[in-house]
Copies of this chain bind each other. A is one copy, B any other.
Amino acid sequence: MKKNKVIILKDLPKFALNSACFTTADRPVKEPMLGEVLIKVKLISIDAANRAWLNGQTYRPAVSVGDIMPAYGIGEVVKSRSKNLNKGDLVSGELEWSEYTTKPASFLKKADGNYNLTDLLTYKGIAGLTAYHGLLNIAKIEPKETVLVSTAAGSVGIFACQIARILGCKVIGLSSSDEKCDWVEKNLGINKCINYKGENFSKTLKEICPEGIDVYFDNVGGNLLEQTLYRMRLKGRVVCCGVISQYDQDTTTSPKNIPGVIVTKRLKLEGFIVMDFQKENFKALEDLSKWFEAGQLKVFTEEYKGLDSAPLALINLLKGKNLGKTIIKI
């Protein structure tokens, strides 16, 4: 029987995720049962949410010690026992950190038409769609509004910055170093990117958005959200997309004065996950593809080679070392 290399969660991280939390193993390839397909994994998406899954139940059950690490990815069907998928089909969905995985066909989405593997994991994948739905279906941004995007150099942030710019907003990015801010300003064409770890961040934010912030696309939570709330305009909207500041610690730090500031500024904070907007995906993919083909929306990736690099890729993402969407090519 064919061997299947997999990466298993060996220990739960106490604070920051580290490579000792994972171990590699060989497992037999699991034959598909009726309705299932066997998939050869091609690309793995590395997402901050992967880390959140280790901390407990979120919108999916927690990952437990001994589990093969789950992850969104793209693969090719190599054996099918489903009427809906054939050998050779390219599929996306929740796969695993493994060479092969066996999944019910109903859990997977078939890639139609002309496709490019990287596109499916970037602007046509959860990163691009998350940014799109957060801005258009949660915040409902309008031209000329001031939109602040956290993790501006990250998987979702690069798309949020560009989409808000394409739609005619004033866009301010936030990133964790001067170098990343330079990269964002140079590559994403937005008005400004601010190093939120820099001195006088709060003062700089005020100077750059004297009118206040209409929409904050929040991937970070914690202290950064707290500082931002005080710069929101009356009736501002906060898109609650992720909480990357909190995943690598054992206690959570909430912004102070919640819900006080929500009342006095009449703010709206709304959480979402990309899977909530399946019905809106057709229009979203149409828009994203149009912008991509017109050269308005650019894709930036941080690519790693080989399954073994997955733990490091996730650790680096959590440390903010990536510029663009992190992808593992197998």
Contacts and interface: CB of A to CB of B under 8 A. Distances in A.
Interface of A: 52, 57-59, 218, 221, 225, 238, 240-243, 246, 252, 254-273, 276
B266 A271 contact: yes
Contact of A258 (B241, B255, B273): B255
Given A254-B257, A258-B255, A271 B276 contact: no
B269 A262 contact: yes
Contacts of A218: 259
Given A267-B270, A269-B269, A252 B262 contact: no
A266 B273 contact: yes
B269 A259 contact: yes
B276 A263 contact: no
A235 to B, nearest CB: 8
25 contacts: A57-B264, A58-B263, A58-B264, A59-B264, A59-B266, A218-B259, A238-B259, A240-B259, A240-B262, A241-B263, A246-B260, A252-B256, A252-B257, A252-B260, A254-B256, A254-B257, A258-B258, A259-B269, A259-B271, A261-B271, A262-B269, A266-B273, A267-B269, A267-B271, A269-B269
A150 to B, nearest CB: 12
Contacts of A261: 271
Given A256-B252, A258-B258, A259-B218, A269 B268 contact: yes
Interface hub of A58, A242, A269 (most chain B Cβ within 10 A): A269
A151 to B, nearest CB: 14
Nearest to A219: B263
A265 B271 contact: yes
Contacts of A221: 258-260
